[in-house]
């Protein structure tokens, strides 16, 4: 009898442990995110305001204006919380944070409207079918399309900048690999409206990127500067990496994510092959990633910090670089893991899922995931915005740097990856 009782007790303890949230990495992360984001949400809606939190540093949450490229990620994070929990309160706040962005549909002076509007209105449309959100997406696609340069066949990323360090680089029509991320909006709007214009622009841009942005090892340049009148390439270089020939981590992340999405909408095997080639170079070529699969902010920072001739002018001083040679970028791991779950879905190659799971495991560990009540309410620590731009800021305004901080897009892609992980583990398409 005593033996039987003991067996029942042990089995019960085992059962509780097996179903306990701590044993399920997705549930555990949801519970953590609920606490952190409740705090961040309260701060962002304090006193009837609706502000957009972007990072936390020097003990303060930083908020950005609606035309900042990161303005859609917090709304998107709230939509993902709704998707993960099914709780209406997250959708209500997500809607509020989405609708403060309504003017962005008419923004034409930079390319990031795809990020800004698709993460906010796009998720709202997908999850709640809110009337009018479809029109916002269509208007945004029209605005983005004004940046198409037919002679070069690409969407121009940035306007030529007239002031600051970047203006001295002499670009005419810069295209950054990040721009692949804006194509999802164009593909979607063609699907919604039946008008192929947007999809055709997206395909042209993806084809040119496929052709011109890559090195032979499938790492990507950050910037390709085109002549928008002749279509010729003027230069291949960097804006956010340490050197023109270095491999800026988030650029590699946008690259694998962008071509996976392009394959989703077109079925074009060339795009799938490129995503697989990038994955191979990222994951199989061991020296590209540390063991925990959370990359340094630039894969080549150590090498170039020892080779001052190759560093972009801004750094020119080896000693100035040394403090930055060990800094990771959690945002890149979050973006890559999310892309890998979709790539796994298309290919059924288990390597992609194993590596994505490993990234999620690392990001969920105390090394990257903040303790509840810290980090200003952001989920992940240790990301890098733009180190070169931050270095300029450090010189003029030390409080303005974005190095080794939480960033709202790291949290956004982390939650997205968790949703996708849950779906593929249930045998479902990760994209709904």
Closest CA to 78 of 104, 99, 48: 99
What is the closest distance, in whole angstroms, from the C-beta atom of residue 181 to ligand GLY in the complex? 8
Interaction residues for ligand GLY, span 119-178 (CB under 6 A): 178
Q: Cβ closer to ligand GLY: 70 or 81?
A: 70
Q: Cβ closer to ligand GLY: 69 or 346?
A: 69
Cα–Cα distance for residue pair 161/415, rounded to 1 Å: 34
Of 48, 68, 134, 178, the active-site residue reads 178
Options 95, 386, 390, 408; binder of ligand GLY; rule CB under 6 A: 386
Tell how strand 148-149 and strand 154-155 pair up: antiparallel
Of 112, 119, 225, 298, the active-site residue reads 112
Q: Cβ closer to ligand GLY: 147 or 250?
A: 250
The residue assigned the tokens 């180190």 is 387
Name the E strands within 206-362: 223-226, 233-237
Question: Which DSSP helix (H) or strand (E) runs through 5?
Answer: helix 2-19
What is the closest distance, in whole angstroms, from the C-beta atom of residue 407 to ligand GLY in the complex? 9
Q: How many residues does the chain have?
A: 432
Residue 201 tokens read as: 């622009």
Cα–Cα distance for residue pair 219/24, rounded to 1 Å: 34
Residue 321 tokens read as: 């670089």
Interaction residues for ligand GLY, span 174-193 (CB under 6 A): 178
Residue 112 a catalytic site member: yes
Residue 122 has what DSSP assignment? I
Name the E strands within 12-121: 52-57, 60-64
Q: Cβ closer to ligand GLY: 84 or 249?
A: 249
Q: Number of residues interacting with ligand GLY: please give it, by CB under 6 A.
A: 5
What are residue 173's DSSP bridge partners? 226
What is the closest distance, in whole angstroms, from the C-beta atom of residue 157 to ligand GLY in the complex? 9
Q: Cβ closer to ligand GLY: 178 or 184?
A: 178
What is the closest distance, in whole angstroms, from the C-beta atom of residue 373 to ligand GLY in the complex? 28
Stretch 56-95: interaction string toward ligand GLY, x if CB under 6 A: -------------x--------------------------
Q: Is the dihedral of CA 12, 18, 22, 26 positive or negative?
A: negative
Residue 46 tokens read as: 């304090």
Examine residue 389 and tell whether it contacts ligand GLY (CB under 6 A): no
Q: Is the dihedral of CA 19, 20, 25, 30 positive or negative?
A: positive
What is the closest distance, in whole angstroms, from the C-beta atom of residue 176 to ligand GLY in the complex? 7
Interaction residues for ligand GLY, span 193-252 (CB under 6 A): 240, 250
Q: Cβ closer to ligand GLY: 222 or 369?
A: 222
- Give residue 216's Cα distance to chain centre: 24
Burial 83-120 (b: 16+ CB within 10 A, else e): bbeeeeebbebbbebbbbbeebbebeebbbbbbbbbbb
What is the closest distance, in whole angstroms, from the C-beta atom of residue 290 to ligand GLY in the complex? 20
What is the closest distance, in whole angstroms, from the C-beta atom of residue 385 to ligand GLY in the complex? 6
- Catalytic residue annotation: 112, 178
Residues that bind ligand GLY (CB under 6 A): 69, 178, 240, 250, 386
């Amino acid at each position: 009898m005593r033996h039987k009782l003991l067996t029942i007790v042990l089995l019960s303890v085992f059962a509780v442990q097996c179903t306990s949230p701590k044993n399920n990495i997705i549930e555990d992360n949801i519970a953590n995110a609920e606490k952190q984001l409740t705090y961040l949400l309260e701060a962002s809606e304090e006193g009837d305001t609706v502000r957009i939190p972007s990072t936390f540093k020097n003990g303060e949450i930083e908020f950005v204006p609606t035309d900042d490229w990161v303005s859609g990620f917090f709304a998107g994070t709230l939509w993902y919380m709704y998707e993960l929990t099914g709780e209406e309160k997250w959708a209500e706040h997500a809607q509020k944070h989405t609708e403060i962005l309504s003017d962005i549909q008419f923004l034409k002076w930079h390319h990031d409207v795809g990020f800004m509007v698709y993460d906010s209105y796009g998720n709202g449309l997908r999850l709640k079918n809110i009337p009018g959100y479809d029109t916002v997406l269509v208007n945004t696609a029209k605005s983005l399309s004004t940046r198409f340069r037919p002679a070069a066949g690409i969407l121009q990323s940035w306007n030529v900048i007239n002031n600051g360090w970047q203006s001295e680089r002499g670009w005419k029509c810069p295209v950054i690999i990040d721009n692949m991320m804006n194509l999802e909006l164009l593909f979607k709007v063609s699907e919604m409206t039946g008008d192929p214009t947007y999809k055709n622009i997206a395909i042209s841009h993806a084809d040119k990127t496929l052709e011109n942005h890559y090195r032979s090892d499938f790492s990507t340049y950050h910037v390709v500067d085109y002549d928008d009148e002749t279509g010729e390439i003027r230069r291949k270089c960097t804006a956010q990496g340490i050197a023109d020939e270095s491999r800026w981590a988030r650029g590699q992340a946008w690259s694998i994510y962008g071509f996976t999405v392009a394959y989703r909408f077109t079925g074009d095997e060339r795009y799938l092959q490129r995503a697989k080639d990038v994955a191979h170079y990222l994951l199989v070529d061991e020296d590209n990633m540390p063991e925990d699969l959370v990359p340094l902010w630039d894969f080549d920072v150590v090498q170039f910090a020892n080779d001052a001739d190759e560093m972009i002018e801004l750094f020119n001083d080896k000693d100035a670089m040394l403090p930055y040679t060990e800094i990771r970028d959690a945002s890149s791991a979050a973006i890559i893991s999310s892309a890998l779950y979709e790539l796994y879905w298309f290919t059924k190659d288990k390597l992609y899922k194993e590596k994505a799971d490993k990234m999620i495991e690392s990001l969920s560990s105390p090394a990257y995931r903040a303790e509840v009540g810290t980090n200003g309410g952001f989920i992940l620590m240790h990301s890098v915005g733009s180190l070169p731009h931050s270095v300029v800021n450090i010189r003029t305004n030390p409080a303005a740097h974005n190095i080794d901080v939480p960033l709202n897009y790291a949290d956004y892609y982390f939650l997205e990856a968790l949703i996708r992980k849950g779906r593929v583990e249930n045998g479902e398409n990760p994209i709904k």
